[in-house]
Amino acid sequence: MMKEHLIVGLDVPSLGEAEEIVEELSDRVGFFKIGLELFAAAGPAAVEMVHRHGQRVFLDLKLHDIPNTVAGAARRIAAMGVGMMTMHAMAGTAAMGAAQAAAVAAADAAGWPAPLVLGVTVLTSLNQEDLTAQNICVPVDRQVISLAGQAKASGLGGVVCAGAEARKIKESCGSDFRTVVPGIRPAWAAGNDQKRTMTPAEAIANGADYLVVVRPILAAENRREALSKILEEMRQSFYNH
């Protein structure tokens, strides 16, 4: 079912607002994403709330630190029972390997499956001009493929990338290496601060495993209707390809 491939972001400032969204949409969503804003406001209680409603959590904190610190954080995150978590691939192979090992060990100790640890490649709010300003003078897609390869070599199960890069990552890292694509903007939605965007249909056609959608749903006058339109677009694209 297409809902298994859809992640809705709970990018709101309070636990109460997040729970309203979960209650309204949980029957049509595979994962709920908890990012920095909600986690800063509510902490682990946000994870507990989503679990209480019988739903899976994608904890998107984008860890980026030295290996020992990242491992400690990954251990605590995995102990919460989340299904997915993120860290920056730019933290390096040692940090990614440490996070993966710590997450697996913590989940094993708790008696549940280890989370899918994802390496964040290049944020979808960045484009070639932004990378050049940071003295990264290779094309965006080459930087993304390089970081994805490092993530796989470190033992991670997938990466976060733009939709345009998903197929190249699959070709380079294998079909079982997961691609999670944010920056999803249906044709009827505003782009906001995202630069490397794709429609749901385009991302599915390009090999994305999971789509992360936030503002096109949360900002909609009718959130369930917006969600239904996105799921239908995903379904048509999947069966046409």
Cα separation, 97 vs 76, whole angstroms: 16
Residue 111 CB: number of other CB atoms within 10 A? Answer: 7
- Cα torsion at 125, 128, 131, 137 (round to 10°)? 160
Q: What is the pLDDT of residue 1?
A: 77
Q: What is the pLDDT of residue 190?
A: 60
Token look-up 């969600």 returns 227
Q: What is the pLDDT of residue 79?
A: 97
Closest CA to 29 of 5, 54, 59: 5
Bridge partners, residue 198, by sequence: 184
Percent of the chain, pLDDT > 70? 95
Q: What is the pLDDT of residue 237?
A: 82
Average pLDDT over residues 70-96: 98
Q: Which residues are catalytic?
A: 62
Least confident window among 139-153, 171-185, 187-201, 226-240: 187-201
Cα separation, 29 vs 219, whole angstroms: 17
Cα separation, 19 vs 33, whole angstroms: 12
Cα separation, 29 vs 65, whole angstroms: 31
Q: pLDDT (tens digit, 9 = 90+) per residue, 26-59?
A: 999 999 999 999 999 999 999 999 999 999 999 9
Cα separation, 229 vs 182, whole angstroms: 17
Are the C-beta atoms of 147 and 119 separated by less than 8 Å? yes
- Locate 89 and state its tokens: 């691939």
Q: What is the pLDDT of residue 187?
A: 79
Is the pLDDT confidence value at 191 over 60? no
Which carries the bigger pLDDT value, residue 15 or residue 186?
Answer: 15
Average pLDDT over residues 95-101: 98
The mean pLDDT of the chain is: 94
Average pLDDT over residues 168-181: 97
Q: What is the pLDDT of residue 84?
A: 98
Distances (CA, A) of 76 to 3, 43, 72, 184, 236: 28, 12, 7, 30, 39
Cα separation, 230 vs 196, whole angstroms: 18
Average pLDDT over residues 140-156: 97
Is the pLDDT confidence value at 150 over 60? yes
Average pLDDT over residues 80-108: 98
Q: pLDDT (tens digit, 9 = 90+) per residue, 110-122?
A: 999 999 999 999 9
- Locate 180 and state its tokens: 């999670």
Is the pLDDT confidence value at 193 over 60? no
Please state the domain extents for the chain: 2-240
Q: What is the pLDDT of residue 65?
A: 98
Q: Helix %, strand %, coil % for the chain, to 5?
A: 55, 15, 30
Q: What is the pLDDT of residue 109?
A: 97
Is the pLDDT confidence value at 77 over 70? yes
- Element holding 7 (H helix, E strand): strand 6-9
Q: 2-240 has which fold?
A: TIM Barrel (3.20.20)
Cα separation, 54 vs 200, whole angstroms: 25
Cα separation, 15 vs 186, whole angstroms: 27
CA 67 to chain centre: 21
Q: What is the pLDDT of residue 41?
A: 98
Q: pLDDT (tens digit, 9 = 90+) per residue, 126-147?
A: 999 999 999 999 999 999 999 9
Closest CA to 87 of 144, 156, 40: 156
Q: What is the pLDDT of residue 192?
A: 55
